[in-house]
Homo-oligomer: A and B are copies of this chain.
Amino acid sequence: MLFKNNFVKKKSVDVCLSPELLHLYDVGNSIVVMVDILRASSSMTTAFANGVRELIPVATLEECQKLKEQGFLTAAERDGKKIEGFDFGNSPYSYIESDVEGESVAITTTNGTLAINKSKQAIQVIVGSFLNKTAVNNYLKQTNENVLVLCAGWKGQANLEDTLYAGAVVEGLSDKFDIKADGAMIAFNLYQNAKDDLNGFLENCNHVQRLKKQKGILRDIEFCLKEDMYSIVPVLEGDKLKKAMI
């Protein structure tokens, strides 16, 4: 048995730079790490770290509204802005500054919830961000399945912040996993360039420029780029995100 184990093939880590490219990847044989740094995956991580019991990602504002009428808390964002009539937008501080202990929250965002919905045939879908970087990497090493980091991007295009985080996952797994393809190499190299000053590196990226037009957004961005604030891993169970048992 020991001899046989020597020939067990290493698992691989790969990066899909946009949900529009997901059909090119072997999703069914991978754990998908959904990432939308600014701000869906950072906010989801923060929600669980602050006691939220479950998050229900929904695609449309209408579905979110229906769940509100059923008594759920709701978080809704489009094009970086909170939608009127819902409890929260897409700021991680919503979950820090409100009492959300034990709550269920329905959530819809421009890119993040779409990315989750596209990943449902994966072995498992988890949510990654800089805030739970090491927790996610440890979880992936322990689970030992092929890993596909899915960058939510911006309306189908690749973006810097998600690609950077993908590079952090590749870096974290590179001693135990094969780097499968060039998408992972691109992300890995980008992260090497940027990791000592993520804030400075991202200052001119598109989404930061877009977000900066909003009042009070800078503290959100700074928060979303902090590494290892939390040691929790959100995981999709059926149609709901829960806190993984780790």
A-to-B contact residues, CB < 8 Å: 17-18, 20-21, 24, 154-160, 163, 181-183, 185-186, 189-190, 192-194, 204-207
Contact = CB atoms under 8 A, between A and B. Distances in A.
- Copies of this chain present in the complex amount to 2
Contact of A20 (B20, B154, B193): B20
Residue among A182, A189, A205 facing the most chain B CB atoms (10 A cut-off): A182
Nearest to A157: B24
Given A185-B206, A189-B194, 15 more contacts: A17-B17, A20-B20, A21-B21, A21-B156, A24-B157, A154-B182, A157-B182, A157-B183, A158-B182, A160-B182, A160-B185, A163-B182, A185-B205, A192-B193, A193-B193
A21 B24 contact: no
A155 B194 CA distance: 29
Contacts of A189: 190, 193-194
A181 B161 CA distance: 12
A-side binding surface: helix, strand, loop or mixed?
A: helix
The 5 closest A-B pairs by CB, nearest first: A159-B182, A160-B182, A24-B156, A182-B206, A181-B206
A68 to B, nearest CB: 32
A201 to B, nearest CB: 8
Contact of A181 (B17, B21, B157, B185): B157
Given A20-B20, A192-B193, A193-B193, A182 B207 contact: yes
Nearest to A201: B189
Contact of A186 (B156, B163, B185): B163
Contacts of A21: 18, 20-21, 156-158
